[in-house]
Copies of this chain bind each other. A is one copy, B any other.
Amino acid sequence: MPTQSTSPHLPFGENKNAPWYGMDILSVKQFSRTDLEYVFGVAHEMRGMVERVGTFDLLKGKILANLFYEPSTRTSSSFTAAMERLGGSVIPINEVKYSSVSKGESLPDTIRTLECYADVIVLRHPETGSAAIAAKAARKPIINAGDGVGEHPTQALLDLFTISEELGRLDGLTVTMLGDLKYGRTVHSLARLLTLFGARLNYVSPEILRMPKEVMEEVADKGIVQTEFGSLEKVLAETDVLYVTRVQKERFEDVADYEKVKGAYVIDPDVMKAAKSEMIVMHPLPRVGEISPDFDDDPRAAYFRQMEYGLYVRMALLAMVLGKA
């Protein structure tokens, strides 16, 4: 039912009575606060079931086509595990670039073929807007697993679910985002989602990697307080959630500029002495040096648990769009 869920005029969450059955998951913009609470409620139940029984047959007999036009082992594995933990099966399609499917065939044709075989399609594609194109062609539900610099809604949902599960609440938190805030798709989505919960946002980044104007304006319109900083020390003590992203050397024209700033964006046990004991450190992974492995055993290090919460969110979404939650 692509019309309903992709329409900007009838966002997903506004029809409170609509079942999630057959819906596409294309963008975090589909989700109202009520929707998010519903997803997280289902995901929380999934967590409980996995902890108790590991796997159960909620989606037995259902088939997921896991269609990845670019490799992403983490996301692909997470969806595969989500489907398998619900008793369903997976058609893995990871090597699309070598395949005849990619030889000139349009994305809608590929989607219309795969929906002959599968009950739901997860799509990762390098081009922005691909997921919406796929959803328009499909009768079966499409879940966007990242389309270029566009959306990656399940990542945004798992980030928010992590906060909810770890801190027990989403309202009124102080969230500090650190590192590359310009190119980081995850921090843009998370900032937008947090506006629904009255957060206070701190942005700590090098000058050239500041949070984009359009994101800040959108967030400001919702009445959210945002403050920018060049270093972490002024805000770490008050932070409930520290969301770390990678500062890539390649973003800097002059390597000397990179060398100058990089140390300011590395988290280790020493830096974290200034933080509260009741807070969490998140990271979308993979990390390459921006969080020291020495910090991994600290209870505040939530980034591996974050991966696990991703499993539960994806289980919830699969069950929902297949009419089983």
Please give the residue numbers on chain A whose beta carbons come within 8 Å of chain B beta carbons, in ascending order: 53-56, 60-63, 65, 71-74, 77-78, 80-81, 84-85, 89, 91-96, 98-101, 103-106, 108-110, 112-114, 116-119, 285-288, 293, 304-305, 307-308, 310-311
Q: Which residues does chain B contribute within 8 Å of A308, judged by CB atoms? A: 116
- Is A78 in contact with B117, judged by CB distance below 8 angstroms? yes
Instruction: Indicate which residue in B101, B285, B311 contacts A74 across the interface (CB closer than 8 Å).
Output: B101
Q: Which residues does chain B contribute within 8 Å of A56, judged by CB atoms? A: 61
Q: Which residues does chain B contribute within 8 Å of A311, judged by CB atoms? A: 116-117
For residue A316, give the distance in angstroms from its CB to the closest CB of chain B. Answer: 15
Q: Which residues does chain B contribute within 8 Å of A74, judged by CB atoms? A: 100-101, 113
Q: Which residues does chain B contribute within 8 Å of A106, judged by CB atoms? A: 293
For residue A211, give the distance in angstroms from its CB to the closest CB of chain B. Answer: 24
For residue A213, give the distance in angstroms from its CB to the closest CB of chain B. Answer: 28
- Is A108 in contact with B54, judged by CB distance below 8 angstroms? no
A201 to B105, CA, bound (A): 29
For residue A138, give the distance in angstroms from its CB to the closest CB of chain B. Answer: 11
Check A77/B91 contact, CB under 8 A, given A72-B99, A101-B286: yes
A81 to B65, CA, bound (A): 9
Instruction: Indicate which residue in B61, B65, B305 contacts A55 across the interface (CB closer than 8 Å).
Output: B61
Q: Which of A65, A84, A106, A118 has the most CB of B within 10 A?
A: A84
For residue A180, give the distance in angstroms from its CB to the closest CB of chain B. Answer: 15
- Is A81 in contact with B307, judged by CB distance below 8 angstroms? no
Instruction: Indicate which residue in B84, B93, B116, B304 contacts A304 across the interface (CB closer than 8 Å).
Output: B116
28 contacts between A and B (CB under 8 A): A54-B61, A55-B61, A71-B95, A71-B98, A71-B100, A72-B100, A73-B101, A77-B114, A78-B117, A81-B118, A84-B89, A84-B91, A92-B92, A94-B95, A95-B95, A100-B286, A103-B286, A105-B286, A105-B288, A109-B285, A109-B286, A112-B307, A113-B285, A113-B304, A113-B307, A116-B307, A117-B307, A117-B311
